[in-house]
Structure 1
Amino acid sequence: MESVDLDRFDRAILTILQTEGRITATELARRIGLSKSPTQARLKRLEEIGVITGYRALLDPIRMGMAHVAFVEVRLSDTREAALQAFNRAVLTIPEVEQCHMIASRFDYLLKVRTSDIQDYRRVLAEKISALPHVAGTSTYVAMEAVKETG
């Protein structure tokens, strides 16, 4: 996928929408210094070309009883393409895994896992993560506090 050219108005729209996704088109237009129609046209274009991929509600995981965050290094026993694809497909099915990144390091993947507590995490690690295809080993780092998280 290639990058697209964004001017200052496009960037202003994106900056505002990242923190205020429910802003009205009228207010968005006022804040970026354009009228409503060109702002709406830009917004539609940003959606059509895939810069804006969707809109969603941001939930407070702590209020939902999901305060435990762990980062998990995953080492695979096989890193050929078929093994990587099998791991990728399988990890998508684990709802507790919020993020999964392939890493160029001494391990292969870094997962962000959110659970209710350490016991729940232990269950997810044993029953779900360790059972993923080609997992040879894991190392866990428990987060004590989120200093910065952005959506």
Structure 2
Amino acid sequence: MTNSTMDDIDLRILNCLLERADLPHKEIGQRVHLTGQAVGARVRKLQELGVIEGYTIRWNPDKIGLSVHAFVTVFMTSNHAHQTFQSFVQHKEQIVELHRVGGEGCYWMRVRVGTQAELTALLDELLQYGNYKVSLSIGQMK
């Protein structure tokens, strides 16, 4: 499905779900002037076509002790380490996002841990793949 095959109602349904993924189809239907059943059919179509890939929740990591939020740029020291580095990252739950990037660095990671000591331990492990630069979040604005 491309933008040319999506109509305005599909886009409005998608925007409702992006705003709040747990909205009942009936409530979305009231917003877009369709029945809940019609909204459900359109949502299933958007899922089948890969426009909607899944659902997520908003959460407060501080409430469960993950108060250190860091952004790490990784500079690989070897062209041959990428595969093992990517495998390493897949097994580290503290690394919540990994992006291969162009420009400064090779990878960008978003990390959540409970303490500075946990962050230091993770950074020490990263040294087997390359160097890094760390920026700590001091507050989320959006």
- TM tier, smaller: 0.7 to 0.9
Deviation at 1:20, TM superposition (A): 1.6
Q: Deviations over 1:30-78 (max 9, x none)?
A: 1112223321111001111111112233321011111111111101122
Deviation at 1:143, TM superposition (A): 1.1
**TM-score for the superposition, normalised by structure 1:** 0.83
Deviation at 1:144, TM superposition (A): 0.9
Q: Which amino acid in the other structure matches residue 127 of structure 2?
A: S
Partner residue of 1:84?
A: 82
Partner residue of 1:18?
A: 18
Gaps of 5+ in 1: none
Deviation at 1:7, TM superposition (A): 2.1
Q: Tell me the secondary structure at the aligned position of residue 144 of structure 1.
A: coil
Q: What value does the CA root-mean-square deviation take over the aligned residues?
A: 1.8
What is the distance in 2 between the residues matched to 1:106 and 1:28?
42
**TM-score for the superposition, normalised by structure 2:** 0.88
Q: Deviations over 1:87-110 (max 9, x none)?
A: 223211110011111111131001
Partner residue of 2:114?
A: 116
Q: Runs ≥4 in structure 1, deviation > 3 angstroms? A: none
Aligned residue runs from structure 1 range 2-151, under 5 A? 4-5=2-3, 6-79=6-79, 83-127=81-125, 129-131=126-128, 135-148=129-142
Q: Tell me the secondary structure at the aligned position of residue 62 of structure 1.
A: helix
